[in-house]
Amino acid sequence: MKIILTLFNLLFLSITSAYAQTDWQKKEKLLWESYEQKKISSEEWYQSLLIEAGSLGSELQVWLEQKTKADKSFLQTFQPVNADSLLLRIPNEWEVVKENGNSYVKLYMINLKSDTASIPRIDATINNFSDYIKIKGKWYQIRQNYKSDCGNSYYNSGLEPAGLYSLEVNSIHQNKGSEEVPYKVAFDYNGKRIESNEVKIRLYTNQWKRLVYEKVK
């Protein structure tokens, strides 16, 4: 299901970019035309989108992998500063690579509140997430949750006190990238923005250049 959604989002991004005017988006259009004409494979098209056109890939998806309880020793590892809130933490060993090669950022959501937290969902994912990178000392939002056209996809699930969600964020990290940048995620909850700690990820040079071009005006 994850692969299908990711491919669909990539197709959508490429098709809609055909009408754009920037050099980066024109490159996406040319790559899409080459793929349609069967000059390149789907894998070549995808890699070229990232490396040549500077695309980040699909929209943000935060998948719920497991629900457990957070014990005291686990909580002490992350040194929570607010004992009455939700806590987001990216662990030191954060990269998750699946057998199919898909890469994810491991993320923990922990309920430090004394009552059950109502968490917004979209099917098997968590809603209301966004992610950020730091450019020249300032944080810029780069993605938001994908949205579903099906109203039945939206609901809330309960995260009990000391409850822990093990989450996986579809990653823009590139192991072969040469640009190291600070990265974090944020969750909008009851009118407040809860942010994770920051980690360093790598991007391809053109991904970094495109982000600077599009974000820093």
- The residue with greater pLDDT, 105 or 22, is 105
Provide the pLDDT confidence category of residue 8 given band limits of 50, 70 and 90: very low
Per-residue pLDDT tens over the stretch 167-186: 999 999 999 999 999 999 99
> What pLDDT, on a 0 to 100 scale, did the predictor assign at position 181?
97
What is the number of residues in the chain? Answer: 217
Q: What gap in Å lies between CA 39 and CA 90, rounded to an integer?
A: 40
Residues 88-111 have a mean pLDDT of 92
Tens digit of pLDDT for each residue in 122-161?
A: 999 999 999 999 999 999 999 998 888 887 899 999 999 9
Q: Report, as an integer, the average pLDDT of 58-68.
A: 93
- Bridge partners, 187 (sequence order): 129, 194
pLDDT at 19 over 80: no
20 pLDDT more than 50:
no
Tokens of 169: 């964020």
Left (φ > 0), alpha (ψ -120 to 50) or beta: where does 79 sit?
Answer: left
Q: Is the per-residue pLDDT at 40 higher than 60? A: yes
In this predicted structure, the answer to whether residue 81 has a pLDDT above a threshold of 60 is no
More confident residue, 148 or 97: 97
> Which residue from 203, 196, 214, 215 is spatially nearest to 137, judged by alpha carbons?
215
CA distance 144 to 146: 6
User: What pLDDT was estimated at residue 80?
Assistant: 57
Q: Find where tokens 């599009």 sit.
A: 214
What domains lie within the chain, and their CATH numbers?
2-51 (no CATH), 62-215 (2.60.40)
